Amino acid sequence: MKHRKLANQLEVSALGLGCMSMSALYGPPADRQEMIKLIRAAHERGVTLFDTAESYGPFVNEELVGEALAPIRDQVVIATKFGFDIDLATGERLGGTNSRPAHIKAATEACLKRLRTDRIDLLYQHRVDPEVPIEDVAGAVKDLIAEGKVKHFGLSEAGVQTIRRAHAVQPLTAVQSEYSLFWRGPELELLPVLGELGIGFVPFSPLGAGFLTGKIDENTRFDPTDFRNNVPRFSPEARKANLALVDVVKALAERKSATPAQVALAWLLAQAPWIVPIPGTTKLHRVEENLGGVDLDLSADDLDRINEEVSKIQVQGERLPEAALKMTGR
């Protein structure tokens, strides 16, 4: 497995594993014991970065990840997130965001227990809280780092000015946001700022929530509990129009004797050496397929061809429901 460094200090496998879909949002939760086996099998194949959050469930995904990684804790990097208003005793969602410093510290203590560990390698603010100055958030995490309970600080779906302000108080190791050939918004402002400040980037949904695998079309039916049912980009009409993008990926995959997923991941990895995608899955053969993207070399001509052909395609539909979009880029 190839490795990369986030902020030139946190070394991780070039591809991580997003664990959210094992417990939430993509349909009913998968079998817990099977997911424990999957996480451990991913590590056996070289994966060292595992991504979770208190809100996935809530709590059940952290508990799953904690149990799976407990026997190999010192061999892996665990990333989790705080920032939503969740009752820490019951898991009840109380409202929107909550990044008050006292809540951050209490939430982190709860995360440590669920993850069965004495430190969190990478702690993200899940969404920016408009009611709490980011300097206060960064200060709270700085305190946790000083106490040894957290090793590295990150932000998720934050705007560039928020990133600059947080970084001035407690240097950021990583920023997490959606990025793929299906959503290239970070290229406008985010990636240049991360490159300038020396902050790593961890793209979630690097396969476009499954769309770039080529396994989804306008006739695909999602489970009623799957969040994609509420995403404009995944309406049947949008999917039909957006298949033009998948065709570009499929064509290159055929030329490279690879799969569309491998091409999509290799393209992401080629954008910068400090990018570490975290595709999620509940299937071992998909983990193995995705890892094949790490060793797929795309030439400058390949990348130019992708950019040229994709630039002609206007992707249809917003990437998130309106309410969720309002919580990003703040």
pLDDT in tens, 123-143: 999 999 999 999 999 999 999
List active site positions.
56
Q: What is the pLDDT of residue 39?
A: 99
The residues, ordered by sequence, that sit 6+ positions from 225 with a Cβ below 8 Å of its Cβ are 27, 28
d(CA 16, CA 19): 10
% of the chain residues with pLDDT over 70: 100
Mean pLDDT, residues 70-98 taken together = 97
Q: What is the pLDDT of residue 217?
A: 97
**Which of 183, 246, 241 lies closest to 214, judged by CA?**
246
d(CA 59, CA 114): 8
This prediction's pTM: 0.98
Q: Which residues partner with 49 through β-bridges?
A: 77
What is the domain partition of the chain in residue ranges? 3-325
Q: How confident is the model at residue 313 (pLDDT cuts 50, 70, 90)?
A: very high
pLDDT in tens, 201-217: 999 999 999 999 999 99
H or E stretch including 309? helix 300-310
How far does CA 149 lie from the centroid of its chain? 22
The residues, ordered by sequence, that sit 6+ positions from 163 with a Cβ below 8 Å of its Cβ are 155, 172, 175, 190, 193, 194, 197, 199
Fold of 3-325: TIM Barrel (3.20.20)
Q: What is the pLDDT of residue 105?
A: 98
pLDDT in tens, 209-264: 999 999 999 999 999 999 999 999 999 999 999 999 999 999 999 999 999 999 99
pLDDT in tens, 77-90: 999 999 999 999 99
